[in-house]
Amino acid sequence: MSIGMRTDLLVSVRCLDGISHGPCCGTRSVAVSRSTPRSWFVNPRLWLHLDRGARKAADDGHLLCGATVLGRISRRVDRETAQAVFKASGLE
């Protein structure tokens, strides 16, 4: 998924073959865009773009399915980011 994708128009987010294989995101104009959660851990800007847009899509009534998936991914990104910070700080 490129940062150019209109995440504020997401209508669905679904995990195919579990969260480790990454979700498929669909908007009104893009049928399917896939990415891996790993890409979000190494590029927080990409995750923030998806998260911010998905929240807007939900608030605007566009996101019809995927809030649970996004919540699980959000918790995983937060957990892995915290672990990386602890490791880099020598607190692991």
- Tens of pLDDT along 65-81? 888 888 888 888 888 88
- Whether residue 1 is contained in a domain is answered as no
Q: pLDDT tens digit string along 11-39?
A: 887 766 554 445 555 555 554 555 666 67
pLDDT of residue 87: 92
Provide the token pair at 48. 């923030």
- Whether residue 71 is contained in a domain is answered as yes
- Whether residue 84 is contained in a domain is answered as yes
Query: Which residue range forms the structural domain that includes residue 73?
Result: 7-88
pTM above 0.75, yes or no: no
Q: How many domains does the chain have?
A: 1
Number of H helices, E strands in the chain: 3, 3
- Whether residue 12 is contained in a domain is answered as yes
Q: What percent of the chain has pLDDT over 70?
A: 66
- Whether residue 14 is contained in a domain is answered as yes
Average pLDDT, the chain: 75
In this structure, the number of other CB atoms found within 10 A of the CB of residue 92 comes to 9
Contact 7, 52 (CB under 8 A): yes
- Whether residue 2 is contained in a domain is answered as no
- Whether residue 48 is contained in a domain is answered as yes
